[in-house]
Structure 1
Amino acid sequence: MSHKRRELYRNAEQGKIAGVCAGIADYFGWETWLIRILVVSGVLFGMPFLILGYVAAWFILDKTPTKTAKVNYQGHESNYAKGQQPKQSADVAHESIKVKARIWQSGEPAKQALYDIARKFRSLEGRVQAMEHYVTSTEFTVAREINKL
């Protein structure tokens, strides 16, 4: 069993201040809000060295490379409710859906995962319908006859 070696990065796209908490959450596979609550609680309850650690991590850690940036699934429902366009169908067909098993783990809640799966199937159904329309058209028949020559 081979495990992919993960590296710790700052996730500036999902971060509030510098992306340190978001990077730690990505590294451990936890939700970002949980890491933020732990850090703020630690500072409030007598661990001020966490502020120094946060600032040090801000300067030490590199930003997440764009090719390994993770997709944040938390905002899907609110984005669609605001009338924004969904992802392109090519992106929808190839995106992976990770359902969280525990509340602190990263991933999608089951309700959001079902919504995304339904959206994925609608996208794929549209592509299949377009292929069926082309195969049953006279354009396809003519192209096939020309290729036989």
Structure 2
Amino acid sequence: MMSYDRDNSRNGRRQRKSFKRSRARGWGMGLYRNTRDGKVGGVCAGLADHFDIAHWVMRLMWVGGFLFTGTLALWAYLAAWILLSPQPSRYGGAAQGDDTDDSVAMEYDERYHDYRPRRAFRYPEPGTVRLNRARERLDDALRRVENMESYVTSRRFNLDREFSRL
């Protein structure tokens, strides 16, 4: 009986540690409360940062959810407030208020001029802008290759090569 209680208490501690560690890491998805830009608890601002939409849009969605579902949206907000940890500090340390030493990969976000948790598959510009930028780089590379070809086939290249042989 005594060993059974001891095993259950160890499992409970392990689960609490695992819960705290997952919460501090943003549940593996980069989900955090944005307490700096948030109005009440930072839940809407954090979700807006995660989905890369404007904060006011997420707040409007919450108000719409509250109007259509009643207190269910309020309970969901409170649950998210408890389950989401505050956004990590800008230097990649543990989340604010947590005593864990797990670091979160951070990247500099040009639009917000601040460090944010690194996210996979998050693109700040639309696809057309990225495609045009790639096209410009390819055109620049093609221009340099054309310049190199015209130099190699010119008389000046032959003259420079003869001088280098001396």
TM bracket, shorter-chain basis: 0.3 to 0.5
Which of structures 1 and 2 has the bigger CA Rg? 2
TM value normalised by structure 2: 0.39
Larger relative CO (CA 8 A, sep 6+): 1 or 2?
1
The answer to which structure has the higher strand fraction is: 2
